[in-house]
Amino acid sequence: MATDYVGWRKSSHSGLNSTCVEVGRADDGTIGVRDSKQHGTGPVLEFTPTEWAAFIQRIVHQPTER
């Protein structure tokens, strides 16, 4: 998969205590997710566009656990 991502943005649901994830996109459409505390030096979890869509769909339609 790709290794060069652009447009990294922090999740709007990130916590105030630095529990944040960032999402970026590669030229081939691959989506990368990383821990913002690593300052760009940590591992990147990669998703194909189809995998990313399924992941987001699952999150949106998952009942909230309390």
Structural contact between residues 21 and 12, judged by C-beta atoms closer than 8 angstroms: no
Q: Both tokens of residue 34?
A: 């990383």
Share of the chain above pLDDT 90, in %: 38
Domain ranges of the chain: 5-61
pLDDT category of residue 60 using cuts at 50, 70 and 90: confident
Q: What is the pLDDT of residues 15-44, one digit of tens each?
A: 666 678 899 999 999 999 998 888 778 899
Side by side, the strands of the sheet bearing 21-26 are 5-10, 21-26, 31-35, 45-47
- pTM, 2 dp: 0.76
